[in-house]
Structure 1
Amino acid sequence: MERADLPGAAHLVLADGVVHLDPERAVFDAMLAGWERQQRTRFLKDATIRPRIALIRRLGEFTNSYPWQWEPADGEDFITHLRAEREGARPITVSTARGYEVSITLFMQYVTDPRYQWPAVCRERFGSVPQQVFHEGNSVAHVTDFEGQPGRRPLTYDEVQALFDAADGRVEHARLHGRKGALPALRDAALLKTVYAYGFRRREAQRLDLADRRHAPKMPQYGQYGAWFVRWGKSSNGSPPKRRTVLTVPEMDWIVEVLDHWVTEVRPLFNPGRLQALWVHERAGRMSLRSINEAFEQARRLAELPEELDLHSLRHSYVTHLVEFDYPERFVSEQVGHRYASTTAIYTGVSDEYRTRLIRRSMEGHSELWESR
Structure 2
Amino acid sequence: MLRGWATQQRSRFLAEATVTQRLRLTRRLAEFSGLYPWQWTPAEGEAFIAHLRGGDRPLALSTARAYEVDLRMFCEYLLDARYGWASLCVDRFGMAPQQVFHQDNSVIHVEDYEGDPSRRPLTYDELQALFDAADGRAEQIRARGVKGALSALRDAAMLKLTYAFGLRRREVAMLDLVDVRSNPKAPQFGRCGMVMVRYGKASRGGPPRRRTVLLVPEMDWMVPVVKHWLHEVRPALGPGKHPALWVTERRGRVSTRLVNEAFVAAKKAAGLDPALDPHCLRHSYVTHLVEFDYPVKFVQDQVGHKFASTTAIYTGVSNEYRNQLLQRALQDRLGRMWEA
Question: When the two structures are superposed, what TM-score results if normalisation uses the length of structure 1?
Answer: 0.89
Matched AA of 1:99: A
Alignment correspondent of 2:285:
318
The Cα of 1:180 is off from its aligned counterpart by 0.9
Instruction: Choose which of 46, 53, 60 in structure 2 pairs with 1:83.
Output: 53
Q: Deviations over 1:81-119 (max 9, x none)?
A: 1111x1xx4001000000001110111111111111111
Among residues 170, 195, 208, which one is paired with 2:162 in the alignment? 195
**How far did residue 368 of structure 1 move?**
2.2
- Tell me what 2:207 maps to: 240
Deviations 1:46-101 (CA, angstroms, capped at 9, x unpaired): 121111110001001111101101111111111111111x1xx4001000000001
Instruction: Report the secondary structure of 2:196's partner residue.
Output: strand
Q: Quote how far apart the aligned CAs of 1:370 are.
A: 7.8
Matched letter for residue 42 of structure 2: P
Equivalent of 1:258 in 211, 222, 225? 225
Offset, 1:215: 1.8
Partner of 1:13: none
Q: Is 1:230 aligned to residue 200 of structure 2?
A: no
**Alpha-carbon offset, residue 364 of structure 1:** 0.6
SS in 2 for 1:246: strand
Aligned residue type for 2:123: T
Structure 1 residue 71 corresponds to structure 2 residue 41: yes
In the alignment, structure 2 segments of 5+ residues that lack a partner are none
CA deviation vs aligned residue, 1:139-162 (integer Å, no higher than 9, x gap): 000001110111221111111111
Secondary structure of the 1:245 match is strand
Structure 1 equivalent of residue 174 of structure 2: 207
- Structure 2 residue 218 is matched with structure 1 residue 218: no
Deviation per CA, 1:182-212: give whole Å up to 9, x if none: 0000000000000000000011101100111
State the match for 1:3 in structure 2: none
Amino acid across the alignment from 2:20: R
Alpha-carbon distance between aligned partners in 2 of 1:53 and 1:369, rounded to the nearest angstrom:
67
User: C-alpha separation between the residues in 2 aligned to 1:305 and 1:46?
Assistant: 36
Partner of 2:27: 57
**Which amino acid in the other structure matches residue 73 of structure 1?**
A
SS class of match (1:33):
helix
Match for residue 130 of structure 1 among 92, 97, 117: 97
Corresponding position: 1:271 with 2:241: no
Which residue number in structure 1 is paired with residue 9 of structure 2?
A: 39
* Alignment equivalent of 2:270, drawn from 303, 320, 325: 303
Match of 2:322 in 1: 355
SS in 1 for 2:317: coil
CA distance in 2, matches of 1:266, 1:144: 46
2:140 maps to: 173
Paired AA for residue 348 in structure 1: T
> Which of structure 1's runs of 4+ aligned residues deviate more than 4 A?
none
Aligned length: 338
AA in 1 matched with 2:24: A
Letter in 2 for 1:137: D
Distance (Å, rounded) in 2 between the aligned partners of 1:196 and 1:150: 19
Counterparts of 1:299 and 1:202 in 2: how far apart (Å)?
15
272, 284, 287: which one aligns with 2:254: 287
Q: Does residue 102 of the first structure (1) align with residue 78 of the second (2)?
A: no
- Tell me if 1:151 matches 2:121: no
SS at 2:160 equivalent: helix
TM-score (norm 2): 0.98
- CA distance in 2 between counterparts of 1:369 and 1:244 reads 45
CA distance in 1, matches of 2:39, 2:188: 67
**Secondary structure at 1:152 match in 2:** coil
Superposition pairs for residues 335-346 of structure 1, below 5 Å? 335-346=302-313
Q: 1:141 aligns with which of 108, 112, 123?
A: 108
- 1:316-346 residue CA offsets vs partner (Å, 9 max, x unmatched): 0000000000000000000000011100000
Change (3 A) 1:320 1:128: same
Provide the C-alpha distance between the structure 2 equivalents of 1:270 and 1:335, rounded to a whole number of angstroms: 31
Computed over aligned residues only, the root mean square deviation of the Cα atoms, in angstroms, reads 1.1
CA deviation after TM superposition for structure 1 residue 214, in Å: 2.1
Q: Aligned-pair distance for 1:268?
A: 0.9
State the shift of 1:369 in Å.
9.0
The CA distance in 2 between the partners of 1:228 and 1:203, in whole Å, is 14
**Could you tell me how far apart the structure 1 residues matched to 2:88 and 2:174 are?**
45
Query: C-alpha distance in 2, partners of 1:187/1:320?
Result: 25
